[in-house]
Copies of this chain bind each other. A is one copy, B any other.
């Protein structure tokens, strides 16, 4: 009774190619025609699955942002201690290279589009919220255990995410990984120090070594 629906697979294929074109040719070059060309189909094929280009873009944004969280989350799941877990998270978030899960062209293209398109904007807000949620637990635990007074966990989390965002962005500008990796490590130590976590409790705040015993 009717033909089997290939929609899910076809949509995925299209998004794959869209991602690729966007990464290689940028926003201006990511036309439906180009995507179709790569796939060896007609533009109308894409229209069959995504009614408008905006739909296609929206779908891509959802895919990369949820994909990002999905891929990054399990990386510290094994760590039990909140302090160590936070250290692991910051080591990841503050390391621009490890943040390269999404192609920069694609990520910033979508981010740029979020300035104009509410739907996309909300996806970025969700990403932010998801990251904040991941961080909040460990941060709160650390704060509770320490003698620090008056520091709000949410504010710390916001600061952490700001550092993460900024490091990635500056990595694009500077294109100097070791230098930004150093800044990332310093930021990690500083934040952990602020929270008086065990790992950062060492009096020597060299900030230059990933594992400074």
Q: A104-B115, A111-B108, A128-B173 are in contact. Are A150 and B205 (CB under 8 A)?
A: yes
**Residue-by-residue, is A196-207 near B (CB-CB < 8 Å gives 1, otherwise 0)?**
000000001111
Q: Mark A141-164, 1 if CB is under 8 A from B, else 0.
A: 000000011111011101101111
Report the bound CA distance from A124 to B128 in whole Å: 25
> How many Å lie between the Cα of A148 and that of B193 in the bound state?
14
Q: How far is the CA of A108 from the CA of B121 in the complex (A)?
A: 14
**Interface residues of A, count at CB 8 A:** 55
- Closest Cβ–Cβ distance, residue A186 to chain B (whole Å): 5
> Is A26 in contact with B116, judged by CB distance below 8 angstroms?
yes
In the assembled complex, which residues on chain B have CB atoms less than 8 Å from the CB atom of A20?
none
Closest residue on chain B to residue A180 by CB atoms? B158
Q: A163 to B152: give the CA distance in the assembly, Å.
A: 18
Contacts of A116 in B (CB 8 A): 26, 105
Q: Mark A180-213, 1 if CB is under 8 A from B, else 0.
A: 1011101100110110000000001111100000
Q: Is the CB of B162 within 8 A of A112?
A: no
CA distance A206 to B148 in the complex (A): 9
A194 to chain B, nearest CB (A): 5
Q: A150 to chain B: which residues have CB within 8 Å?
A: 204-208
- Contact (A112, B109) CB under 8 Å given A165-B166, A166-B167: yes
Partner among B105, B128, B159 whose Cβ is within 8 Å of the Cβ of A174: B128
20 contacts between A and B (CB under 8 A): A26-B115, A27-B27, A104-B115, A108-B108, A108-B115, A109-B112, A112-B112, A149-B206, A151-B205, A152-B208, A161-B166, A161-B170, A162-B170, A162-B183, A163-B166, A163-B187, A164-B166, A165-B165, A190-B190, A190-B191
The 4 closest A-B pairs by CB, nearest first: A166-B166, A162-B166, A165-B166, A158-B183
Q: Name A residues whose Cβ lies closer than 8 Å to a Cβ of B.
A: 26-28, 104-105, 108-109, 111-112, 114-116, 121, 124-125, 127-128, 148-152, 154-156, 158-159, 161-167, 169-170, 172-174, 179-180, 182-184, 186-187, 190-191, 193-194, 204-208
